[in-house]
């Protein structure tokens, strides 16, 4: 009897935790449905970047050493990841707003563990990031970007969702540290810098000076290359696993730091 109760308790705790995460994700979804305008900047910004960069730097494909003849195909995964970065950072801004308005205090006095509260925010950002990614992809395909194939598409979407989780951990960490929406530029600029200091504009061999050095060590370069492979060529495991590993590493580091800030947050 006691043994079965001991097994049932953790199962019940997990169910309760999953229900809390689901409720927090549902709250984020409601926010989106009730204030659809709030999602527009997150959709608009990567689309503008995609159209702008394509119109301005499209001729770069004529350079010797460029890996594809279509700049739309080359740049679209970057714009999808940018959308993920913006969406994740926006999750941080929303958390800062919740802190300012006292909503987080109410969550902190609930019996839900801290990691559950963080997971709700992070997973909601992951799910939400698929909206700008799909929009940018639609625009890119309409303008002539190459079809990445089902496997390439699934890998790109996986990279986008996981990158949004990384960005949400970054945004949440800053929100919990500064406890103010004023930290928003730092959340956005940090993600933008992380995504653009990669092979975003051109292949590694064509990058110049400091950016070539930074792109070599920036883990997001592996994520960009993994998301891009289907658009510019074939999908291989050799191109995929470094991206997956980079995402696991970034999630582990930023997730731990965000959780540390969450645990330090006193009611």
Partner 1 sequence: MTGLATNLRVVRALGMRSIRQTFRRPQLMAPIVVFPTLLLAIQTGGAGAAIHLPGFPPVQSFLQFMLAGAMMQSLMLAGNSGGIALAVDIEMGFTDRLFSSPIPRFAIVLGRLAGTAALGLFSALWFLAIGLIFGAEIVSGVPGALIAIVLVTACALAVGGIGAAIALRTGSASVVQGLFPLVLVVLFLSSAFFPESLMIQPAQAIAEYNPLSLVVNGIRNPMISGINASDLIDAVLAIAGIVVLGLVLSARALRHRLRVG
Instruction: Pick one of 20, 24, 28, 49: the residue that binds partner 1 (CB under 8 A).
Output: 49
**Tokens 């900047």, residue located:** 41
For partner 1, the binding residues in 55-74 under the rule CB under 8 A are 55-60, 62-63, 71
Quote the CA–CA distance of 30 and 53 in Å, as a whole number: 33
Question: Binding marks (x or -) toward partner 1, 174..193, rule CB under 8 A?
Answer: --------x-xx---x--xx
Q: How many chain residues touch partner 1 (CB under 8 A)?
A: 37
Q: Which of 126, 197, 221, 222 binds partner 1 (CB under 8 A)?
A: 197
Nearest distance in Å: CB 147, partner 1? 21
Closer of 19 and 63 to partner 1 (Cβ):
63
The residue range among 128-136, 151-159, 209-217, 227-235 that interacts with partner 1, by the rule CB under 8 A, is 209-217
**What are the structure tokens assigned to 146, written together?**
């190459």
54 binds partner 1 (CB under 8 A): yes
Among 153, 212, 244, 245, the residue binding partner 1 under the rule CB under 8 A is: 212
| CB of 150 or CB of 205, closer to partner 1 | 205
Stretch that binds partner 1, among 85-93, 108-116, 122-130, 210-218 (CB under 8 A): 210-218
What is the closest distance, in whole angstroms, from the C-beta atom of residue 207 to partner 1 in the complex? 6
Q: Which residues contact 11 (CB under 8 A, 6 or more apart)?
A: none
189: which residues sit within 8 A by CB, 6+ positions away?
none
Residues of this chain that interact with partner 1 (CB under 8 A) are: 41, 44-45, 48-49, 51-60, 62-63, 71, 182, 184-185, 189, 192-193, 196-197, 200-202, 206-212, 214
């Amino acid at each position: 009897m006691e043994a079965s109760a001991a097994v049932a308790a953790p199962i019940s705790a997990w169910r309760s935790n999953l229900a809390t995460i689901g409720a927090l994700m549902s709250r984020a979804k409601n926010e989106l449905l009730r204030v659809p305008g709030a999602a527009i900047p997150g959709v608009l910004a990567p689309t503008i970047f995609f159209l702008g960069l394509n119109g301005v730097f499209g001729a770069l494909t004529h350079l010797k050493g460029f890996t594809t003849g279509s700049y739309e195909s080359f740049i679209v995964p970057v714009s999808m990841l940018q959308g993920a970065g913006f969406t994740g950072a926006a999750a941080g801004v929303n958390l800062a707003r919740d802190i300012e308005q006292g909503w987080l205090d109410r969550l902190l006095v609930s019996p839900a563990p801290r990691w559950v509260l963080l997971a709700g925010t992070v997973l909601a950002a992951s799910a939400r990031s698929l909206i700008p990614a799909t929009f940018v992809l639609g625009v890119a395909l309409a303008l002539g970007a190459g079809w990445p194939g089902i496997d390439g598409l699934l890998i790109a979407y996986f990279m986008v969702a996981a990158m949004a989780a990384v960005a949400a951990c970054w945004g949440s960490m800053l929100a919990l540290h500064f406890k103010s929406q004023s930290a928003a530029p730092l959340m956005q600029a940090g993600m933008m810098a992380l995504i653009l200091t990669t092979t975003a504009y051109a292949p590694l061999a064509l990058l110049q000076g400091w950016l070539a050095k930074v792109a070599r060590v920036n883990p997001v370069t592996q994520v960009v290359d993994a998301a891009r492979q289907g658009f510019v060529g074939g999908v291989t495991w050799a191109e995929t696993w470094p991206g997956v590993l980079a995402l696991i590493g970034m999630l582990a580091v930023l997730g731990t730091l965000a959780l540390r800030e969450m645990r330090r947050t006193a009611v």
